[in-house]
Amino acid sequence: MRWVAVLCFAGPLIAADPPSDLSPQQVDEIIQKFTAKEAAFARARENYTYRQTVRVQEMDENGNPRGKHEIVSDIIFNAEGKRTERVVRAPMDTLERIQITQQDEQDLRAVQPFVLTTKDINRYYVRYLGRERLDEIDCYAFAVKPKQMTPGERYFEGIAWVDDKDMQIVKTYGRGVGIEKSKGNHMYAKFETYRQQIDGKYWFPVYTSANDTLNFASGPVPIKMLVKYEDYKQFKSESTITFGDVAEPAKPPKKP
């Protein structure tokens, strides 16, 4: 979410020394495989309905909620079969020191549930960081950074963890970045998004969370954010999408 100067990560995104467990050719092959799987996943998700809950809270100096923005909506298909969003609940916004903007909405739709497809790969630098185990899932970790940015567009910058068997992203940690059209004290919180296996083959985002302090010139503002994606249901299918048989749905990686 944009909250009006961009936060730095707690640690470096890029490893000082490149890992040596894979050759450059092997890394390129892995990137080709998982971006192709991500493209298929993105097409598949367009055929699912789900409920999305967005909750953003300002916290006071004692860690208690002071203001809140919340909206619950269903991502559905209308009678003509077109994808649409229906707001189910939207209480009055009580945020005082931050506000939700167009950039926030862009991040919510495309950056926080980040997908890196074959079509988008040329827009990013992707660097292999090494192997890592998330809960019971063996992963390849990649640093991702936009090569160049166009005004008005939003991009992901951070780390993506790819399941070494399904070759799909199972977790991302980073922030939304872009070129600001207007001057001001703009700030974006770090977030992490977790995915879970749906229908035994697709890794869909299930929640995004942030727990950060935005250090404005006027003073720090602690915030918490939670976005939940629930009740995925397939509306229609594409017979061309195949991921192979999966005996049991895999568990999502646990939050550290």
Please choose, from the candidates 195, 188, 192, 189, the residue with its C-alpha nearest in 3D space to the C-alpha of residue 163: 195
Mean pLDDT (whole number) for 132-136: 93
With respect to residue 25, please indicate whether it lies within any of the assigned structural domains: no
pTM score, two decimals?
0.82
Number of independent structural domains in the chain: 1
With respect to residue 255, please indicate whether it lies within any of the assigned structural domains: no
Structure tokens at 218: 């006027």
With respect to residue 204, please indicate whether it lies within any of the assigned structural domains: yes
With respect to residue 24, please indicate whether it lies within any of the assigned structural domains: no
* Span 2-54, pLDDT tens digits: 333 222 333 334 444 557 689 999 999 999 999 999 999 999 999 999 999 99
Q: Residue 202 belongs to what domain range?
A: 32-234
Output the domain CATH number for residue 55: 2.50.20
3-state DSSP call for residue 250?
coil
With respect to residue 22, please indicate whether it lies within any of the assigned structural domains: no
Enumerate residues 6+ apart whose C-beta is below 8 A from 4: 98, 99, 101, 184, 185, 186, 187, 216
Distance CA 191, CA 154 (A): 15
Look at residue 240 in the predicted model and tell me its pLDDT: 39
Distance CA 128, CA 143 (A): 6
With respect to residue 105, please indicate whether it lies within any of the assigned structural domains: yes
Amino acid type, 48: Y
Find tokens 């916004």 and name the residue: 93
Q: Which of 39-48, 67-76, 81-90, 235-244 has the lowest mean pLDDT?
A: 235-244
With respect to residue 9, please indicate whether it lies within any of the assigned structural domains: no
Please choose, from the candidates 118, 99, 231, 116, the residue with its C-alpha nearest in 3D space to the C-alpha of residue 174: 116
Angle (nearest 5°) at CA 170 between 166 and 174: 145
Distance CA 109, CA 169 (A): 17
* Span 205-247, pLDDT tens digits: 999 999 999 888 788 899 999 999 999 999 864 433 333 443 3
Provide the pLDDT confidence category of residue 187 given band limits of 50, 70 and 90.
Answer: confident
Distances (CA, A) of 59 to 51, 67, 105, 133: 26, 7, 21, 33
C-beta of residue 210 within 8 angstroms of C-beta of residue 190: yes
With respect to residue 18, please indicate whether it lies within any of the assigned structural domains: no
